Amino acid sequence: MSGVVDLAAVKAASEARQKAEARPQAGPGSRDAAPGARLVFDVTEAGFEADVLQRSAEVPVVIDFWAEWCGPCKQLGPVLERLAAEYAGRFVLAKVDVDANQMLAQQFGIQGIPAVMAVVGGQLVPLFQGASPEAQVRQVLDQLIEVAETQFGIVGAPVEPGEGTAAAPEAPQDPVLAAAHDALDRGDLGGAIQAYRNVLSDRPGDAEAKLGLAQAELLQRVQGLDAQTVRKEAAEKPSDPRAQIAAADLDMVGGHVEDAFSRLVDTVRRTAGEDRDAVRVRLLELFEVIGADDPRVVAARTALARVLF
């Protein structure tokens, strides 16, 4: 049960920040209000010691490291939040925005997002990195809960349905988009892809469907890939478009957005003809995964233009 981070150092840093600055007071109904009584809550560097380390003596605390720009995070986050409600107190979910809490991400050795870890009885338990199908997430959570109960004697307190979750009204959903999102959450990537394509056939400019389709297609492409083999081949064949495209997909799923973009821009520089066009098209597809307004996309578009023109 040893981890990759010195939690004592994290605790000390958290205590120092608590002394240096007063913690913001969250308003009623907000997600990070009273984290001790909630199933899903935001965590800052200042509050880590109380909200995670101390809480982990009572219930497994799953930590979701995410960022607003991260497309795979937007797919995984709702799955984790829904499962936190479904498991009804057997674990709680702490959300860490790595952009707002860079020191905390460094202390945990986060190399790519989304990254999911847990703390049980003050001990770090690395779980997984990158977006995963819901079935695999459930399996990991079940194993975590079993470890917490058998090795630490920690059993989360059950809550009544609706307790510990924010009482926010839900906006009405487009039923076609909702079906596509549900398929994506279930890991039915083929069904999700077809559903998003159906939406786009009627509404070609639908930004939400474009994002969902790009994410689903990315996840489908990396299914069954052996990461070690793909990266070895990419290192040995820097001008091979197929090898670099596959490695860029893995970079993207792992949250290494800039690495994926720079890899493909460099490959465009090295190639010509149909090979160059294939790499360029994949790069444009990856832009869709995180959205055109993301600063990383803007920078990569500029770099691509310099290579092409």
95-133 pLDDT, tens digit each: 999 988 888 888 888 888 889 999 998 888 889 888 778
- Which of 128-132, 137-141, 170-174, 290-294 shows the lowest per-residue confidence on average (mean pLDDT)? 170-174
Structural domains of the chain, with CATH: 7-151 (3.40.30.10), 169-214 (no CATH), 224-309 (1.25.40.10)
**Contacting residues for 202 by C-beta, under 8 A, at least 6 apart:** none
Confidence of residue 145 (pLDDT cuts 50, 70, 90): very high
- Which of 32-41, 55-64, 68-77, 271-280 shows the lowest per-residue confidence on average (mean pLDDT)? 32-41
Question: What residue has token string 């469907």?
Answer: 209
Mean pLDDT of 204-209: 84
Q: What's the full length of the chain, in residues?
A: 309
114 and 129 in contact (C-beta within 8 Å)? yes
pLDDT of residue 173: 61
Identify whether 73 is a catalytic site residue.
yes
Mean pLDDT of 200-215: 86
- Of 40, 43, 46, 70, the active-site residue reads 70
Q: What is the 3-state secondary structure (H, E, C) of 57-105?
A: HCCCEEEEEECCCCHHHHHHHHHHHHHHHHHCCCCEEEEEECCCCHHHH
34-48, 67-81, 83-97 — which one is most confidently predicted on average?
A: 83-97
| pTM > 0.85: yes or no | no
- Of 39, 62, 73, 297, the active-site residue reads 73
